[in-house]
Amino acid sequence: MKRFLRAKSRVVGALAMPLFFLAFLGLGFRRIAIPGVEGGVNYIHFLVPGILGMSLLFSSTFAGLSVLWDREFGFLKEIMVAPVNRVSIVLGRIVGGMTTGIIQAVLILAISMAVGFRVSNIISLLGSVVFMVLIAATFIGMGLIFASKMKDMQGFSIIMNFVIFPLFFLSGALYPLDNFPSWLKYLSHLDPLTYGVDGLRGILIGISSFSPLINFSVLAFFSLIMIFLGAYFFEKSESV
């Protein structure tokens, strides 16, 4: 957390892209009727949960880069020989990455209120944090899986971009899932971010494709699987 807060460029960079999406897409399409969006719902309100999901997706998956960074400079070897369980190390990394990701998402949510987004009540806000935690845990686990199997930081960035952009566009973050053709809609159901974005949308603005219980259950299942796999591959990884 100290390292994150001291790196001002990292904080600004993490917020810049989601805010650009929010500003240019949200303000640019706010007067246009988007097919599939229920009548009376401003596109900015529809877009904000998707941007929160995008922010958590990118920040969480690239949290795995810290593993490669530590391996590059030998710090990972020191961690591996410490008298602690490797699962504890994984959980510490997940909680640390989760904390920074949620801080970024909450900042974006606060800034989005300046362009017209409103949270109906404190219960909705707390419910959205629950989904943020699950989204972050899911994709930090995924990032650890890739980082544990790779040794090149540049290669990790390329591979993760190749993975996360399809996940982002399939999630319905920018447009309703009902606008997809049938085969693509079924494919989106395999994307854990779909349930995260839909859950955030249901909690924050009351519009969702699935029930809150389905979104929570499926996303919780994905998060447990990814954390387990992330811990497994990290435990099997080499420190050099």
**Lowest mean pLDDT, pick from 62-66, 96-100, 114-118, 177-181:** 62-66
The pLDDT of residue 240 is 46
The pLDDT of residue 141 is 87
Report the greatest alpha carbon distance in the chain: 59
The pLDDT of residue 192 is 93
- Which is higher by pLDDT, 142 or 65? 142
Asked if 141 and 219 count as a contact pair (C-beta separation under 8 A), the reply is no
Whether the predicted pLDDT of 124 surpasses 90 = no
For 71-90, what is each residue's pLDDT tens digit? 666 666 666 666 777 677 77
Amino acid letter, residue 145: I
For 180-239, what is each residue's pLDDT tens digit? 888 888 899 999 999 999 999 999 888 888 898 999 999 999 999 998 888 888 777 655
For 147-193, what is each residue's pLDDT tens digit? 877 777 777 778 888 888 999 999 988 888 888 888 888 899 999 99
Q: What distance in Å separates the CA atoms of residue 227 and residue 207, rounded to the nearest whole number? A: 29
Average pLDDT over residues 30-56: 76
Say what percent of the chain tops pLDDT 90.
Answer: 18
Say what percent of the chain tops pLDDT 70.
Answer: 80
